[in-house]
Structure formats: structure tokens, C-alpha cells
Amino acid sequence: MMSGNSNWHGTTIVLIRKGKDVVVAGDGQVSLGNTVIKSTAKKVRKIEKRNVIAGFAGSTADALTLFERLEAKLEKHAGNLTRAAVELAKDWRTDKYLRRLEALMAIADKEKSFIISGTGDVLEPEEGIIGIGSGGNYALAAAKVLMDTKMSAEEIAKKSISVASEICVFTNNNITMEKI
């Protein structure tokens, strides 16, 4: 779907929607330039109360700020993910503080999946697959091929991140996954 800004290194996030399962998986690498700073970062989160999962690519602090804002929007709009995503994107684009945040988010509930960006985009993938971050396109390509197999959503997500980690130097194989 989208790989993000080339300055955002160290993340691969894939979102898979197959059957009744929705999975978001991410690698654990954080890089500063060509140096690996951390290999076990958790870039995937779940909002238990609303049964929403999110993965983020970009600055960790920025992504956590956006995750908190998403949580607040979900509360305000009674768990309506579409409305919360649009409102978050609107704020992100227009708010002076948020506008400087560099990140992409892949979010999903049981019915919908979206990519949210700081430019105000709220994109819904056609095939139920999202790949973002430096290795996002590799994971996306692998996932597209694997969707036609008997593999589960979790297996596809794991294999997709694994493939990306073999190609993208800013991605590792320490996978964090959430499922709804």
C-alpha cells in the first residue's frame, strides 16, 4: 500500500485481514542512521477496551503520542474507528504540534483497516493488507503472495516480516504481533 518517508528507518509493519482474523505485526529494530539502537522495540499496540490494534512506523515518541490521540478519539466517538481515524488525521494535519510528528499508522478493528498519515490521508486498503515502514513494500509483496495459501493471518504476517528482514537492513526478525 505505502512504504512511508525514506527518512523513517527501522520499522516494518504489516497488517493482514484474512477470514475473521485481523493481525498487525512489526519488527523490533530501531536504527539511528546506519546504527542499530535497539532490536526489541514494540511497535504494535492493542486498545483492549475498543478491540483495536495499531502498528506504527516512524519516531517512537511521535508514534506513542499518536497512539494516545487515537485512543482518545476512539473514546470520544464511541469506538467508531472510521470517525476516530478521520478526526486524528485532521488534527495531525492542522495542529501545530502534531504536524511536526513523523510517523505512519496502520490501524484496524474487526471491520475496517486504515493507514493514517500526517498529510491528512486516511487510506483503506482494497485487499485487506497494509505494509508500512522501510520494509513495508517487501512485507506487502510477500503477504499478497501468501494470501492465496492455507496459511493463517498470523503465519502470513510472521513470514512477511521475516521476508522483509532478509531484504531490508532496517528490519529485523524480532516480531511483535497483536490479533483481534
Q: What is the mean pLDDT of residues 139-151?
A: 97
pLDDT digit string (tens) for 87-124?
999 888 887 777 777 778 999 999 999 999 878 889 99
Q: Is the pTM of this model over 0.75?
A: yes
Question: How many other C-beta atoms are found inside a 10 Å radius of the C-beta of residue 6?
Answer: 7
Residue 8 is predicted with a pLDDT of: 44
> Which among 159, 128, 105 is positioned nearest to 20, based on CA atoms?
128
pLDDT at 6 (0 to 100): 42
d(CA 175, CA 23): 12
Q: Give me the architecture of the 12-173 domain, per CATH.
A: 4-Layer Sandwich (3.60)
CB of 53 closer than 8 Å to CB of 179? yes
Which residues form the catalytic set? 11
For residues 121-130, one letter each, b for 16 or more C-beta atoms within 10 angstroms of the residue's C-beta and e for the rest, the string is ebbebeebbb
Using the 8-state DSSP alphabet, how is residue 45 labeled? E
Domain parsing of the chain, residue ranges: 12-173
Say how far apart CA 49 and CA 20 lie, in whole Å. 19
Within 10 Å of residue 90's Cβ, how many Cβ atoms? 14
The least confident of 20-24, 62-66, 82-86, 104-108 is 62-66
Residue 144 is which amino acid? K
